[in-house]
Chains A and B, each alone.
Chain A
Amino acid sequence: MQISTHELKSKVIESLKLQDITPEQIDDDAPLFGTGLGLDSIDALELVVLLEKDYGIVIKDIEEGRPAFRSVKTLAEFIAAKRPQ
Chain B
Amino acid sequence: MNKIFIAAASIVTETDLPSARLGQRFGRLDLQSQLALLAVASLQIDFAKFPPDRLGICLVASAGSLTTDLNFWNGRSGVGGPSPTLFAYTLPSAAVGEIAIHFGLTGPDLCFVGDGTELITEAVDLIRSDKVDGCLCICGEVISTEVAKIISGPSAATACALFLTRAALSPDSRELREFDRDIKPLCALLCAAKSAS
Contacts and interface: CB of A to CB of B under 8 A. Distances in A.
B84 A17 contact: no
A18 interface: yes
A29 interface: no
B157 to A, nearest CB: 17
B24 A18 contact: yes
Contacts of B79: 52-53
B80 interface: yes
B84 A18 contact: no
A46 B24 contact: no
Contacts, number: 40
A20 interface: yes
**Residues of B contacting A: mostly:** loop
A45 interface: yes
A53 B80 contact: yes
Given A52-B79, A53-B78, A53-B79, A19 B24 contact: yes
**Residues of A contacting B: mostly:** helix
Interface residues of B, number: 15
Interface in A20-77: 20-21, 38, 42-43, 45-46, 48-50, 52-53
Interface in B4-55: 21, 23-28
Given A16-B28, A18-B25, A18-B27, A49 B88 contact: no
Contacts of B84: 42, 45-46, 48-49
Interface residues of A, number: 16
Contacts of B83: 46, 49
A52 B83 CA distance: 12
A39 to B, nearest CB: 10
A49 B80 contact: yes
Contacts of B26: 19
Contacts of A43: 85
Contacts of B185: none
Given A42-B85, A46-B85, A19 B80 contact: no
B80 to A, nearest CB: 4
Interface of A: 16-21, 38, 42-43, 45-46, 48-50, 52-53
27 contacts: A17-B85, A18-B25, A18-B28, A19-B23, A19-B25, A19-B26, A19-B27, A20-B21, A20-B24, A21-B24, A42-B28, A43-B85, A45-B84, A45-B85, A46-B83, A46-B84, A46-B85, A48-B80, A48-B84, A49-B80, A49-B81, A49-B83, A49-B84, A50-B80, A52-B79, A52-B80, A53-B78
